[in-house]
Structure formats: C-alpha cells, structure tokens
Amino acid sequence: MVAPVSIRPVQIVPFTKLVSREGFSCGNEILDTWLKQFAGQNESRFRSRTFFAIDQETNQLLGFYTAVFTALEAGTQLQGPLTSSYKIPAYLIAKLAVDKRAQNQGVGKLLLGDALNRASVASEAGGLEIVVVDAINNEATSFYGKFGFTRVDSQSSRMFLYLKFLQD
C-alpha cells in the first residue's frame, strides 16, 4: 500500500523538465512509461501537449494529461443526436493519470476540468465538435462517464463528449 500524500493547493501547468517525473506511479505501467520516456519527446516535437498537476508547495507531480487534436474518420457512428459522414474535428485527451498517492483526492477531476476548458477555448479559435478519450480500463470508463462522456459504440473503449454541451 502506498502512503497517500496530503493534497495542498494544486496547480495545472504546461509540461516542464523542472518537475521530476521519476517518482510518479499511477499503477498502470503503460502510462507511467509513457510519461517518463515519451512525454518530453512528444512535447519537444510538438506532437502533443502534456499538462502537470503539481503540489504548489512541494512541486511534486500529482498527475498529468496529454492532449492532441484529431479527427474521427468518416462513418464513425456516435451515439447521440448527431452522426456524421465527414471527419469530425476532435480534441483527444490521449493520456490522463494520477499518482497512486494522490488518487481519489480530486486530482483527476481537476485535470479533466482543465483539459475540457482548453478544448472549449480551442473550439472558439478553430472549431471542434467533440472531446474524445480512450478509456484504458473499466475504472476509467466509469470516471469519464460521471462527466457525461458516452461510448462511441457499445464495444468500444473510446468515449466522447460534445463540446456544445460545455458551452451551453
């Protein structure tokens, strides 16, 4: 069992090498490895953007998310009021993870809120219809579902949220 950290004020900041990623562990090896080995490379190549949730007093990394623009292919059947036969412009939250010591303390909700806010702002500048996530497991599916995300189809781990619902 990992001892929980005491959550003090949390700040969401863009990726920076000044925040250590070495001690981070969310319990999912794929996400941990990606953060430590590939987040910096993708950041420097402008392939994606990663944002950190850090403890403002200790500068400890509590969680992160990574986002990139994408488009769902023509013919993707979305559940809900709109289906489309063209590419659907989307903001993909490609990764979202919280350190085991900070889980169940609201950090994931803060990260998701920041990502949705950035998607909303981006949609005003360039037009986006949806935010997309690929839920890595049932726990993630449940987490995103609490915030209104819907599965693309019943067999998919991909979920979406219409941006217009955020802006109403």
Tell me, yes or no, whether 4 lies in a domain: no
Query: Can you tell me the mean pLDDT for 144-150?
Result: 94
Three-state SS at 108: helix
Query: Can you tell me the mean pLDDT for 48-72?
Result: 94
**More confident: 78 or 17:** 17
CA angle 34, 21, 41 (to 5 degrees): 45
Tell me, yes or no, whether 1 lies in a domain: no
**More confident: 138 or 73:** 138
For residue 34, the domain's CATH number is: 3.40.630.30
Which pLDDT score is estimated for 3?
54
What's the domain range around 124?
Answer: 10-167
Three-state SS at 13: strand
pLDDT band at 81 (very low <50, low <70, confident <90, very high): very low
Number of domains in the chain: 1
